[in-house]
Structure 1
Amino acid sequence: MKDKTALVVQSIYKSFYDPVKIDVLKDISFSINRGEFVSITGKSGCGKSTLLYILSTMDTDYKGELFIDEESMANKTEKELAFVRNEKIGFVFQFHYLLNEFSVLKNVMVPGFKSSKITEEELEHKAYELLKKLGIEKLASKMANQVSGGEKQRIAIARSMINDPIMLMCDEPTGNLDSKNSDIVFEIFNELVDTFQKTILVVTHDENFANNTHRIITMQDGKIV
């Protein structure tokens, strides 16, 4: 399983025209195997977030090749890409984007409604089990605006796992957290890799966090250094 690739990036170039051409990403190539925990670091403006946007299939305006779960993302329709995002990738952002009008449990269930592979009852059970794994099942019936920042990020991680993706893509997941909660998030990610063989890619400014991942990809001026 580990030798299968989760993500392969081949010679990706990205430019903006504003009004002159600015090369944001230049010849980016790397691969990530299943079960790897990888961080992308670099100064602000080096192209990390632009790259993550492409890797997550949200941005299709680039040159180069992208493979997710050994399948090319080229020439896919928006509907097909949306399917890949929902089934293969879990997202964790700096801001948790929880829906305040829903309970914690319902928030975790949300991406599963799109998938509609299982009944709502099964989905609810699965969501509760994920909260349990992350040690926050007691929050299940609380409204999303009644929990702390650190708890919100753990809820967001549970939500990212609901469709059992092969890979989590995370953008500054500890950016708004104190060091104690950052450590908790790191430990959760570590366990997802070790116990559930998830693949995790994190864009981060947090050096401590990055140094503890399996591998660091450092970017500078749109290139990997």
Structure 2
Amino acid sequence: MQDTILEARHIVKEFHDPVTVQVLTDITFKITKGEFVSVIGKSGCGKSTLLYILSTMDTDYKGELLIDQELMTGRSDVELARIRNEKIGFVFQFHYLLNEFSVIRNVMLPGLKLGRYSEQEVEHRALEKLKMLGIDHLATKEAYRISGGEKQRVAIARALINDPHIVMGDEPTGNLDTKNSEMVFEIFHELADVHNQTLLIVTHDQGFAERSGRIIEMEDGRIIRH
């Protein structure tokens, strides 16, 4: 029996501006440990809105969200911020690295914020993640001096620093050329396959989705296959 890492139960989301529009309807699914899941669907179908809810950033919804079999719904912002940092790694379309910091410092930041390990230990762990992604030679470079593909790999290392239960990606290859997109896919594939890392990736790249372990397809705020 695989552990359930993330579970959505009957999630409904409405926007009220000024009329009420239902954006998500009865979203229910589970993701188990080590799964590599892609979420696909046309623009405006609710993918990103769903990701905001699943990542605990948006708390204004009906239904229930469980991460690591614990209920997230109804918790305080402070609690959710701590859980996010501890249990979720994020990779976005834009890497959001801090230019004035070195590569290794960028990777260390969520680890320092979590405060579970000493600074020395966080640095050691950051170097291990960079090594795993084949970019440890960039550790001391300033973030603005490396290429786009390298930046996205640094962002993945940063997402992994706290050994999250799940890595969530919002169009992580959306800004990359084919070669770098392929590299990011390979990294994700290896994370799931070799390291049993759970991944939930929103993408409009059909080829990427089809090679992931499982597809959740959305249409007009509903899941039409999962």
* TM-score interval, normalised by the smaller of the two chains: over 0.9
5 Å-filtered alignment, 1:76-225, equals: 76-225=75-224
5 Å-filtered alignment, 1:19-58, equals: 19-58=18-57
Q: Distance in 2 between matches of 1:153 and 1:142?
A: 15
Query: Offset of 1:45 from its aligned partner?
Result: 0.3
Q: Secondary structure at the match of 1:155?
A: helix
Q: Secondary structure at the match of 2:59?
A: coil
Q: Distance in 2 between matches of 1:14 and 1:175?
A: 25
Equivalent pairs, count = 224
TM-score (norm 2): 0.98
> What residue is the counterpart of 1:11 in the other structure?
10
Bigger Cα displacement from structure 2, 148-157 vs 69-78: 69-78
TM-score (norm 1): 0.98
Q: Distance in 2 between matches of 1:30 and 1:79?
A: 26
Q: Distance in 2 between matches of 1:135 and 1:3?
A: 30
Measured on the aligned residues, the alpha-carbon RMSD in Å equals 0.7
Query: Offset of 1:191 from its aligned partner?
Result: 1.0
Q: State the identity as a percent.
A: 63
Q: Distance in 1 between matches of 2:133 and 2:19?
A: 48
Q: Distance in 1 between matches of 2:74 and 2:56?
A: 12
Q: Distance in 1 between matches of 2:25 and 2:143?
A: 41
Q: Secondary structure at the match of 1:57?
A: coil
Displaced runs of 4 or more, over 3 A: none
Query: Offset of 1:117 from its aligned partner?
Result: 1.0
Q: Give the aligned residue type for 1:137.
A: D
Query: Offset of 1:75 from its aligned partner?
Result: 2.1
Q: Distance in 2 between matches of 1:89 and 1:62?
A: 20
List gaps (5 residues or longer) in structure 2: none
